[in-house]
Amino acid sequence: MLNKKLAACLLAAALPFAAFAANDAALSKEQLEVASKLRDQALEKSDAYSLVESLTVEVGPRFPGTEGDVRAVAWATEKMQALGFDRVYTEQIDVHRWRRGHVHAEVVAPYPQPLVATSLGYSAATPKGGITAEIVEFADVQALEAADPETVKGKIAFINKRMVRTRTGEGYGPVVGARSRGMRIATEKGAAALVIRSVGTDSDRFAHTGMMAFTGVDNPVPALALSAPDANLVEAMLKRGKPVEIKISADNEMLGDGPSFNVIGELRGREKPDEVVIIGAHLDSWDEGTGALDDGAGVAIVMETARLLAQLPERPRRTVRVILFGAEEIGLVGAKQYVEAHKDELDKIVAISESDFGAGKVWRFDTGFPEGKLGLADQMMQVLAPLGIERGNNKSSGGPDSSVFYAQGVPAFRLYQDGSDYFDYHHTPNDTLDKIDPENMKQNVAAWIAATYLLAEMEETLGQLPTAK
């Protein structure tokens, strides 16, 4: 049933929507008009920027299982309560904890000079006194994988692959294996340590940290990333033909398991409270920046979206659930444990998405809808297109955390942000508030509120994906 009261309240003027045949019309003309109005209001007045400012200034780094993480959970809970959610609660998750120690790296020979490096996530410590060894260079992780162990044994394996800058971030896939798999391979081949060129697109003297697979690796070797200029430096030395010897030290520490939390806020559905649209982001961040782009911006965008929806005279038909996932950075831990804990309720999730790609403008609308429901996406595009958003594909899992739900058959969508500079800052100390343009945040919220409203308000649901159990 059309919510006429709400439509009348918001509607200022009739907007020119394309006519759809009745059997395609998942969304009514009036629903689209309300969504357009919400979009325009958000574009003008939303203030997600203040939320990410608050999070980065008052909390800052919030690595899973740290005091910063505890403060972030408290911040999110209090903030959601103040913003007008109907229900705010946390769900505990279990995380591996780790402490980054001081790291030091330098070229010992033939041209002694210091290097800027950082430990990859959960890297082992070096022995006291560090590791001094010759570098062996590999073009990519596959080259290390194919290497004769004799060429690597006792040496420091150096994977030196550059990442390509793109708007979509698709340059990430071909390089991230160096970080995620390199340490295991280096360990198995008897290397003394792994060093990689940072997975990033900048040419600044920041090393990019990030997660690697470490469970089940016996006696893992230390694993470091060099900043791009430092990788260039080592590369230039190697090109001169003499052996290059470096020294690294890192006093990292594994701390055992501990708790973290998913923080959840809900606007209870007006008619179908047990049917849910999930909009998410992750609350945790890497430890060296203040997690502004990754993922303070996303946290702020979905919180502000819900705050504005909460100001409507009536709740949308379905429940809108904001989930601020914990421990995304260390392996989608919050999402995985959420899906496990709620596996019997997944068919009640109408759709899921998350904002986790920085603070650039949304430029594309991707979906992971059942094939028969793409008419809905086309209708949604009528409201999104005026924001400069184009229709993308139907292959999206929604984002990292959403993909865990999507794999279980939950329809997903993605408001794809322009990530051209996202990997300049990703997982570095330089991920700070000043990288966010408040105007871009307004455009994001405008897109989010339109999409969220329509999915929460539409007559029928999408059903589940054929990949469902």
* Site residues for its own copies per CB under 8 A: 53, 56-61, 67-68, 102, 111-114, 116, 203-206, 228-229, 232-233, 236-237, 240, 289-290, 428-430, 432-435
Please report how close the Cβ of residue 110 comes to its own copies at its closest, in angstroms: 8
Q: Of 53 and 188, which CB lies nearer to its own copies in the complex structure?
A: 53
State the nearest-atom distance from the C-beta of 178 to its own copies, in Å.
20
- Which residue lies nearer to its own copies by CB, 420 or 432? 432
Across 163-190, b (16+ Cβ under 10 Å) vs e yields bebeebbebbeebbbbbbbbbbbbbebe
Buried b (16+ CB within 10 A) or exposed e, 280-317: bbbbbbbbbbbbbbbbbbbbbbbbbbbbbbeebeebbb
Measured from the CB of residue 165, what is the shortest distance to its own copies in angstroms? 14
Looking at the Cβ atoms of 43 and 292, the one nearer to its own copies is 292
d(C-alpha 200, C-alpha 212), whole Å:
15
Residue 246 near residue 365, CB atoms below 8 Å: no
Q: Which is nearer to its own copies, 104 or 270 (CB)?
A: 104
Toward its own copies, which CB reaches closer, 188 or 235? 235
Nearer Cβ to its own copies (67/390): 67
Task: Write down the least CB distance from residue 36 to its own copies, Å.
Answer: 35
In terms of CB distance, is 175 or 233 closer to its own copies? 233
Under 8 Å CB-to-CB from 23, ≥6 apart: which residues?
none
Shortest distance, CB of residue 117 to its own copies, whole angstroms? 12
For residues 113 and 311, which CB has a smaller minimum distance to its own copies in the complex? 113
Output DSSP code: residue 330: T
CB of 60 to its own copies, least distance (A): 3
User: Could you say which DSSP state residue 401 is in?
Assistant: H
In angstroms, rounded to a whole number, what is the distance separating the alpha carbons of residues 338 and 326?
A: 10
Q: Which residues contact 175 (CB under 8 A, 6 or more apart)?
A: 140, 161, 162, 163, 199
Cβ 88 to its own copies shortest distance, Å: 22
CB hemisphere CA count around 349 (13 angstroms): 29
Tell me the C-alpha distance between 210 and 175, whole Å: 12
Helix (H, G, I), strand (E, B) or coil at 375: helix
The two tokens of residue 121 are 């996530």
Q: At what angle do helices 297-309 and 48-58 cross, to 10 degrees?
A: 130
Residue type at position 28: S
CB of 249 to its own copies, least distance (A): 13
